[in-house]
Amino acid sequence: MTFFEPTDTAALTQAFPKLPFGLKHHFVGNPLLTLPTLAELVGRLPRDRLEYNSGSAAISQRPETTPTVDLEPEQIVRNIESAGAWMVLKSVEQEPAYRKMIESALMEVARTRGFDSLKAAGFEDIRGFIFVSSAQSTTPFHADADENFFFQIHGDKFFHVYDNRDRSIAPEEALEASAIKHRNLPYEAKFDAKCTTYKLKPGDGVFVPYQWPHWVRTADSYSISLSLTWKSQEVRRRNDIFAVNAMLRGVGMPQNPPGVNPALDAAKVAAFRAASAAVEPLRRNEGMRRAIRRLVKGRDANYYYREAGKPDVKAS
């Protein structure tokens, strides 16, 4: 394959996408993933597609107290060896060159799994994220509301993944909050027993199933990582039910998690998608995206606009 090399093909064909597994890849050296190219990309991305803070965040980090870093985004990338920072470039698939690279990689996975298109393989709402972080930086414990191939490009990373299938780490309500409000989850020492650690060097990667909690720390060099995510129909449906449940919970109407009442779930999905379609044209404008996020997710939804030394969201 050009990009992607599962170390265990059975992992891609049997348990996928339910269990994590390690893999090898060929993204190292790709000119789209070097520091100078990424500095240029950061300079032209809209502000809401960048999130950055100090690399000294805790494993169990409350979002509102995440330590900030007093540097402009482009400076962070150009000085990542000394910046003590953590940054993510979001939705890089909106750039044509990155989209081509991402779709080519996922198409390799689709073919290995016996499908002849991304859609047939269940890869919808495909996105790319690039993480640029200084040595000894921590990505706090969190869960993501998508399925994720994570590829290490530069530097070493320790990627800790936790089995939460019995919900003993994060119950359904915490998973709903991580999907809708903020991804971070509280960490407790008793979770250690459920951890699998992947020691990733450039050329290594890991598949992270939907909402499997994880935290990450860079080793003694700066790090560049690429994350390719998608949402299958099943994942999108679950996320939409979470969104409706969160809104109803917000007005004092706690709901069952997805799956308990299939008929009610179907009604929630239909209502949410009709409302989302109605506001979609407004989302082309960054200011409107910001207003919609606040309306749907609450005041803290625009947390990543925080500026150094100003812990509260300004005019979100």
Least distance (Å) from Fe ion to the CB of residue 142? Answer: 6
Q: Pick the stretch among 56-64, 71-79, 142-150, 270-278 that binds Fe ion (CB under 5 A).
A: 142-150
Residue closest to Fe ion when measured from CB atoms: 144
Angle subtended by helix axes 233-250 and 262-279, to nearest 10: 90
- Of the candidates 173, 223, 182, the one whose C-alpha atom is nearest the C-alpha of residue 201 is 223
Helix (H, G, I), strand (E, B) or coil at 316: coil
Q: Which is nearer to Fe ion, 93 or 144 (CB)?
A: 144
8 Å CB contact between 196 and 161: yes
8 Å CB contact between 153 and 202: yes
Q: Which of residues 8-67 bind Fe ion (CB under 5 A)?
A: none
Q: Which is nearer to Fe ion, 147 or 265 (CB)?
A: 147
Which residues lie below 8 Å from residue 231, measured CB to CB, with a gap of 6+? 124, 125, 145, 146, 147, 239
Least distance (Å) from Fe ion to the CB of residue 227? Answer: 7
Among 51, 93, 144, 146, binds Fe ion (CB under 5 A): 144
Q: Which is nearer to Fe ion, 232 or 316 (CB)?
A: 232
Q: Which is nearer to Fe ion, 144 or 147 (CB)?
A: 144
Q: Pick the stretch among 125-133, 136-144, 166-174, 231-239 that binds Fe ion (CB under 5 A).
A: 136-144
b/e per residue 277-313 (b: at least 16 CB within 10 A): eeeeeeeeeeeebbebbbebbbebbbbbebeeeeeeb
Interaction between residue 265 and Fe ion (CB under 5 A): no
Least distance (Å) from Fe ion to the CB of residue 208? Answer: 7
Least distance (Å) from Fe ion to the CB of residue 17? Answer: 15
Least distance (Å) from Fe ion to the CB of residue 219? Answer: 18
Total chain residues near Fe ion (CB under 5 A): 1
Distance CA 100, CA 203 (A): 20
Least distance (Å) from Fe ion to the CB of residue 261? Answer: 30
8 Å CB contact between 33 and 228: no
Distance CA 313, CA 296 (A): 16
The tokens for 206 are 């890991």
Q: Pick the stretch among 82-90, 108-116, 139-147, 247-255 that binds Fe ion (CB under 5 A).
A: 139-147
Least distance (Å) from Fe ion to the CB of residue 299? Answer: 24
Q: Pick the stretch among 47-55, 116-124, 144-152, 197-205 that binds Fe ion (CB under 5 A).
A: 144-152
What sign does the dihedral 88-93-97-98 (CA atoms) show? positive
Distance CA 175, CA 18 (A): 16
Q: Which is nearer to Fe ion, 211 or 255 (CB)?
A: 211
Which spans of this chain sit near Fe ion (rule: CB under 5 A)?
144
